[in-house]
Structure 1
């Protein structure tokens, strides 16, 4: 059998609330400092001191 991969965000019961809060506060700061349409997830990840993959893990992929 192959390795199964999780295809969506991590269930809330397995997420670290501190990480989620850090990402959300970073997003607020980045949006406050930049025009809405120029903000990237990479900027938010950098401001939150986490990887882009962590943001996708916590919030999923909207695409």
Structure 2
């Protein structure tokens, strides 16, 4: 290959362009990607709630 254009590439510069380029490597639909991110967020919240309840139960049991 004689001409390599990518060494001069600067990549996406705008927020919209960065979001679009981020999705280029995505192997699932954008909707599923959004659902997975939301599920991970909810699981993190659930873990925090569980830890809070566990600490409270330990303090109550300890007396």
Q: TM-score surpassing 0.5?
A: no
Whose helix fraction is larger, Structure 1's or Structure 2's? 2
Larger relative contact order, structure 1 or 2 (CA cutoff 8 Å, min sep 6): 1
State TM-score, norm by structure 2.
0.32
Bigger Rg, structure 1 or 2:
2
State TM-score, norm by structure 1.
0.32
